């Protein structure tokens, strides 16, 4: 049983909870997700099953698209509405002001990783430092905001400003931190009140299934996941490919997926030392 599931993760559970549910439903141990969603978040969670777990790092690196809800005028220790309220102030911002600031974030910038995250510093997860009340310098990462736009009208409630936006971002971007940075640029404070991932790479929310509907029939074949040249193994190279041997690059391509009976066997790529050769990148069956 090998393939990929596109799950619409519900609110209130962790990504690991989703993996555990799939393990039970499909009765298989090799299951891994390709990009954590916080319990507050819903939406696309790509899960690899069986030999497809070897693709996790490839699928994790994809860009992602989100719809986020924001409340300006509040700050919490988690940067969202699940945390401890730290500060509150009146905040009325116009739609025009917000649009101008959103547009200023297009491109790359150095983003501070939130303290409540699983990023490790000195071998310890940041949220562990937070729970122990320990002060630590938070790491910063360069991220890319590929697109960002406001959705609908700005609303006002209890002297606070509420709005929604959609964004497409690079791997490693924290939307909670982005919202915090947007608020700072608006000379105020703000938190994330809702988050929905609507796309991860080529996987879209409209192609997802609910957790209760998980079935092995929903598994997407590895062959349909990878965007590269696909070749049915011929008898003359079958043994070499199954053994993970370096072979001649007669296919005029950087990557090739070898197939037997509609099953992915091995993903090969150009050999660094000789681009006229191909070497195994991932062995789904046999070999190394």
pLDDT at 286: 60
Taking 90 as the threshold, does the pLDDT of residue 127 lie above it?
Answer: no
To the query of whether residue 63 is one of the catalytic residues in this protein, the response is no
Q: Which residues, 6 or more positions from 140, have their beta carbon under 8 angstroms from its beta carbon?
A: 110, 111, 112, 113
Please state which of the four CATH numbers 3.30.2350.10, 3.40.50.11260, 3.40.50.1820, 3.40.640.10 is assigned to the domain occupying 3-62+201-223.
Answer: 3.30.2350.10
CA pair distance 176, 181, nearest whole angstrom: 9
Q: Where are the domains of the chain?
A: 3-62+201-223, 64-200, 226-283
CA pair distance 123, 117, nearest whole angstrom: 13
Out of 8, 17, 38, 254, pick the active-site residue: 38
Domains 3-62+201-223 and 64-200 share a fold: yes
Segment 54-67, tens digit of pLDDT: 988 878 777 999 99
CA pair distance 113, 125, nearest whole angstrom: 12
Domain 226-283 has CATH 2.30.130.10: yes
Would you tell me how many other CB atoms lie within 10 Å of the CB of residue 248? 12
Segment 71-88, tens digit of pLDDT: 999 999 999 999 999 999
CATH topology of domain 64-200: Pseudouridine synthase (3.30.2350)
Mean pLDDT of 221-245: 89
Q: Which residues, 6 or more positions from 31, have their beta carbon under 8 angstroms from its beta carbon?
A: 19, 22, 23, 47, 48, 49, 53
Phi-psi region at 184: left, alpha or beta (left = phi > 0; alpha = psi -120 to 50): alpha
Taking 60 as the threshold, does the pLDDT of residue 94 lie above it?
Answer: yes
pLDDT at 236: 84
Query: Which residue has tokens 């905001």?
Result: 145
Selection from 172, 222, 204, 173 nearest residue 44 by Cα: 204
CB burial string 134-151: b at 16+ within 10 A, e below: eeeeeeebebbbbebebe
């Amino acid at each position: 049983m090998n393939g990929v599931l596109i799950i619409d993760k519900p609110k209130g559970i962790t990504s690991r909870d989703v993996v555990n549910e799939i393990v039970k439903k499909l009765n298989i141990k090799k299951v891994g997700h390709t990009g954590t969603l916080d319990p507050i978040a819903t939406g696309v969670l790509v899960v690899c099953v069986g030999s497809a777990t070897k693709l996790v790092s490839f699928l994790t690196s994809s860009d992602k698209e989100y719809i986020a809800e924001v409340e300006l005028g509040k700050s919490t220790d988690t940067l969202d509405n699940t945390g401890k309220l730290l500060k509150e102030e009146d905040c009325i911002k116009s739609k025009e002001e917000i649009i101008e600031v959103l547009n200023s974030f297009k491109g790359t910038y150095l983003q501070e990783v939130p303290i409540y995250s699983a990023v490790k510093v000195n071998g310890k997860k940041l949220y562990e430092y937070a729970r122990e009340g320990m002060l630590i310098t938070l790491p910063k990462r360069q991220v890319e905001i590929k697109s960002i736009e406001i959705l609908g009208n700005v609303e006002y409630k209890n002297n606070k400003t509420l709005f929604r936006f959609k964004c497409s971002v690079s791997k490693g971007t924290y939307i909670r931190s982005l919202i915090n940075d947007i608020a700072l640029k608006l000379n105020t404070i703000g938190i994330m009140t809702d988050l929905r991932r609507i796309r991860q790479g080529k996987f879209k929310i409209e192609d997802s299934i609910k957790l209760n509907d998980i079935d092995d029939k929903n598994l997407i074949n590895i062959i349909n996941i990878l965007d590269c040249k696909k070749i049915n193994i011929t008898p003359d190279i079958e043994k070499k490919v199954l053994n993970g041997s370096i072979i001649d690059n007669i296919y005029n391509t950087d990557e090739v997926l070898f197939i037997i009976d509609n099953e992915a066997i091995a993903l090969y790529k150009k050999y660094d030392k000789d681009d006229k050769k191909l070497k195994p990148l991932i062995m789904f069956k046999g070999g190394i």
